[in-house]
Amino acid sequence: TTATVTWDTDELADSSVTGSFATVSDAVLTLTHSLDLTSLTPGTLYPIDVFSSDGSGNQATSSTSFTTLIDLPPTNVIDFLATPEDSQIALTWTNPPDVDFDHVSLRVSEVGFPTNITEGLEIYSGVNELFAHSGLTNGVEYFYTIFALDTALNVSSGASDSAIPVGPPAVL
């Protein structure tokens, strides 16, 4: 998790922020200050001290605090679709645009939609946006849920679809 601390001064000054994470500084003299804090823990209160010193060594200090956001799960995949074919189902989707997206877990069941990452059988894990589930029995309904996972392994709520594979058309 990251945070950006910004502030303005009425004369050219350097920038420094100190907290339990360490000290982040920029020696460039400016009126508009912005420092990025990295490797922060989600959902944590951080008291900080903000310092700026002008070219003559005059220093201004301000103390404040902020709380980092809780690392939310990724959004679901977009346009998840199960298309029936002969003895297989073609599954397609678009991965979520989340910057911390890591991979998807595609799960199947014959008794209902998997509602979490441990239900059903995982048939695909990766970053591709299509999968052909083959070797299926025509006429049987297959229930799919695809979950997106981020780099912290948070899991989306899942997108679901079902399909029934069908045989080739009868030859007359």
pLDDT in tens, 53-93: 999 999 999 999 999 887 789 999 999 999 999 999 999 99
What's the whole-number mean pLDDT along residues 154-168?
Answer: 95
Task: Give the Cα separation of 7 and 115 in Å (integer).
Answer: 46
What's the whole-number mean pLDDT along residues 13-42?
Answer: 93
Question: Phi first, then psi: what are they for 145, rounded to 5°?
Answer: -135, 135
Closest by CA position to 154, among listed 81, 85, 30, 70:
70
pLDDT surpasses 70 at 170: no
% of the chain with per-residue pLDDT over 90: 84
Task: Give the Cα separation of 6 and 76 in Å (integer).
Answer: 33
Lowest mean pLDDT among 118-127, 128-137, 161-170: 161-170
Task: Give the Cα separation of 136 and 89 in Å (integer).
Answer: 8
Residue type (1 letter), 167:
G
Count CB-CB contacts under 10 A for residue 114: 23
pLDDT surpasses 90 at 169: no
Residue bearing tokens 């025509």: 138
pLDDT surpasses 90 at 21: no
pLDDT surpasses 80 at 154: yes
pLDDT of residue 157: 97
pTM of the model as a whole: 0.64
pLDDT of residue 127: 98
- Tens digit of each residue's pLDDT (9 = 90 or more) over 110-125: 999 999 999 999 999 9
- Cβ-contact 68, 42 below 8 angstroms: yes
pLDDT surpasses 80 at 172: no
Give 26's strand partners. 15
pLDDT surpasses 80 at 168: no
Residue bearing tokens 């690392």: 71
| The three-state (H, E, C) secondary structure of 47-114, written as one string | EEEEEEEECCCCEEEEEEEEECCCCCCCCCCEEEEEEEECCEEEEEEECCCCCCEEEEEEEEECCCCC
pLDDT of residue 1: 79
State the average pLDDT for the chain.
94
Task: Give the Cα separation of 10 and 20 in Å (integer).
Answer: 28
Greatest CA separation found in the chain? Answer: 95
